[in-house]
Structure formats: C-alpha cells, structure tokens
Amino acid sequence: MPDQRTILITGASSGLGAEMARQFAALGYDLALCARRTDRLDALASEIGAAHPDVTVSVKALDVNDHDAVFRVFDEFHAELGHLDKVVVNAGLGKGQPLGTGRFDANLETAQTNFIGALAQTEAAAAIFRRQDAGQLVMVSSISALRGMPRNITTYAATKAAVAHLAEGFRADVHGSPIKVTVLYPGYIASEMSGTAARTPLMSSTEKGVRAMVDAIEKQKASARVPAWPWAPLGFVTKHVPTAVLRRMA
C-alpha cells in the first residue's frame, strides 16, 4: 500500500466537493476529482497545484447517471493512484417539486441522480475496497434525511434517506474488516445547492461546514450531523416535532 493517502471525490467541481478537495489537499492527500464540468475541475486542480505542489491531482469528466462510466472512472483513478483510501459519494441534485403538481420530471431526475447514481458510485467504490481489503466509503446524505419533508424537498429528502441506509447496509456487510463507512448529514452549508436557504441565519459558511465534514471523515465517525452546532440538537428536533410544526419549519 502506498504511503501517500488518496481520496476520490465526486461532484468536485463546485460547492462542498470543491472545498473538500481544497481541505484534503491541505492535509496532504492526493486527489481524484470528477464531475461533469471539467473546466471547473481543471481550474480547481490548478489552484490546488499552486498551493500544494507536492499533491497529485487527477481529474476526469463524470456524469454519475452514466453508470458504466462510474465504474470505468473509479477503476482508472485506482490504477493511476495505486490505491484509494477514501471515496466520497457527493455528487447530487437539489431540485424537486411537491408531489402531484405535474413535475414528475424534476423528481425523477433527482431520484435517478441522488439514489441510482449514488448506488453506482457505492458499488464501484465497494468493489475496489473489497479488492484492497481496506478503504473508507463516505456518503454525503443530508439533515433532511432524518424525516419525510414537505414541498420541494420531499423527493430530495427521500433520496438522502435512501443513500444513508445504503451506506449503513454496506457497513453491516464489512463489519469487523478494515473497510469503514461514514455517513454525513450536513445541515445548511453555503453552496450552489443552497438556494433560498442561503438567507437563513442557520447557514454555515462553506469553509466552516466542510471543515466539520472533513473532521468527521478523518475521525472515521460512523455518522455525523455537521456542523455539530446547531445541527446535532436541531436534527433531534426535526425528527420529533409534530408534522404541523415541521411544515412551517421546512
């Protein structure tokens, strides 16, 4: 196994994925970064290379809805870097519409990308980890996964609950082995997907929110609501408030 630590991050062209790349580079990780927008990936790779010249940054185009490409790209990264210590399943969509309002198309796209796309990524990562008999799968879920949510995030929340369970099931499969699984439940962290939530006083900066995510990954926590304040207590509230209150909160 190489001495240099390696991490693969999907959806790395912007937002949480790009900031994770910056922070893991600062920790000395070699990076495997993929997303659809290769121009942004190239710019990010140049930025990281200038700041951390000893870090290897490999970038590849990837649409996670192209399932054959997911397996191919993950295997190519593995071959290039020699080992994958961590894989972060981060790529996803934040779009969606209330059920029954004629926007099945938007909800279907969200479900396909956030769940089926994540399933392909998890399968590809799990196969590599089983061959290595080592590795850490990191699933980026959402605080919204803790409860069925109303309006535009109904389908989004359902997909994020599904991927959390997917990761937890894999954890049960590999329990007692060197393979670890971390499920992250981010609260409001500024990113391109934040939308109108950017106006809430609960919004964390991208740097602060991702720092909490990176810390949980590095500590190999089984699960973490991030940032811990205020999302550890608010997650409990979200899960247990009456439906009428939840409707006003969301």
Structure tokens at 7: 């991490």
C-alpha span between 21 and 23 (Å, rounded): 6
Is 5 in contact with 17 (CB distance < 8 Å)? no
- Whether 156 sits among the annotated catalytic residues: the reply is yes
- Which one is catalytic: 29, 156, 185, 188? 156
156: how many CB neighbours lie within 10 A of its CB? 23
C-alpha span between 213 and 224 (Å, rounded): 8
Strand order in the sheet with 223-226: 57-61, 30-35, 6-10, 86-89, 135-140, 179-186, 223-226
Question: Could you list the active site residues?
Answer: 156
